[in-house]
Structure 1
Amino acid sequence: MIGSSTVRRGVAAACAALAVTAGVAACSSGDDSGGKTVLNVYAAASLNKVFTQLAEYYEKAHDDVDVKLNFAGSSALVNQIDQGADADVIATADEATMAKLGDAVENPKVFATNTLVIATAPGNPKRIANFAGLADPAIKTTVCAVEVPCGAATAAVEKNTGVDIKPVSEETSVSAVLAKVTSGQADAGLVYVTDAKGAGDKVATVTDPAFAAVVNKYPIAPLKDSEHKEDAEMFVSMVLGQNGAEVLGDAGFAPPTS
């Protein structure tokens, strides 16, 4: 597979050539019409609320920067970058997915951890007691696809416990799993603790000791080919710093572990 750095350089070269031929700016320079620097931050779907808040903090401290957020399943984000997407910063829901970017990212650092929980309809009407209860074919369970970090975590719990779940659907992001539960399309879903907390009284939660053994570590890194390296590095520093720790903690994320 061609590295994402190579793809991004190729896209930039093609844009430059087109601009010369056409006599116009054929591609975005990363600045909007207001003259602000556009910082493109790609983040796992489970980071939606916290990164939205952190982006607001960053913009208040840097009034010449417009932070553009792109949320999706971590694997989808990596694929977008491999195909030449103009990202400056990426945060994924596990280290294995970040590692797929290879040398396209600089010095990824873990900034938070997360674990799974079972989300059900309010009141837990199916009386699900634990992870093993999801093996009951009468329980419509939805999970993340194994290619996505929350799906890989689910598969790890299945392997550790010997419980075999037959899901009614496999979603591309944890937010999609949660939506299936809150809409009534599924009785239960394997989501992160933070997503269930963010859903408030829309869901009930069921824990299991097996979840504590599978911890997702969230890394963040600037892209090597970023045209706004200084802002990218400062945004990463903010997430790794006190502001980031407070916002992440309020959302239910645990701090990095050794």
Structure 2
Amino acid sequence: MKGRTILYTGAAGGLGLATTLLLMRRGATVVAVDNDPAKIAALTEAAAGIDTGRLVVSTADLSDLAGFRTELDRLVADLGGFDVVINNAAIYPSKPFEEYSIEEHQFVQRINVDAGIVAVQAALPGMRARGFGRIINISSITISGGWANLSPYVASKGALLGLTRAWAREFGVHGITVNAIAPGAFPTDAEKIHTDPAGYERMVLDAQAIKRRGSAEDIAAAIAFFAADEAGFVTGQTLHVNGGWVMA
């Protein structure tokens, strides 16, 4: 990854930090977009000892799409563009479908999908000019069914799969690959929506073929594969990283 510049939304979160550090160790400049001060501080501290790559932090508000595009244009001018875009940032409210307002549905879509569209729009001209690009959309095991009260989140993750396939078809002629990763149940802040953590963990392990919880490093390895030069003949695909819970 030496010489590559990577735009990574949600880069300081539970699954983001390990990936950011791995990509930096492999020589990349990672533009970490996150707005959680504690997580940014932890990422900055963890990255301080890595001299093979570079960390650039952006606290852009993904719900402000115009402002996010302005920030991306500034970063493109400063860094010369993005070789890799990882659309990972997401929010995940939980309540019955009928209790969501249409504005709440739209807000989830704005963060989880529309911000990713803006990121790709900002990166695409440079990728096309270089004849190289990697776009990685982080979907979710929830699109496979089995989870109630998450309809806006599930809809957003399904939208990312559709965009993965549409972009892969459209951008392939320019040497750009587009793939998705659908993580399973990982022990991150997202699990705080479950009222019985111990019971939820038992359910996860019972469902998985591999009887351990997934780690952030499992996702980091999958992202690093799709971001690498060697993955240039893989596009339009979804990699399920879930311990064999859902086999597709």
- TM-score (normalised: structure 2): 0.29
In terms of fraction of residues, the more strand-rich structure is: 1
Which structure is higher in RCO with an 8 Å CA cutoff and minimum separation 6?
1
More helix by share: 2
Q: Who wins on radius of gyration, i.e. which is larger?
A: 1
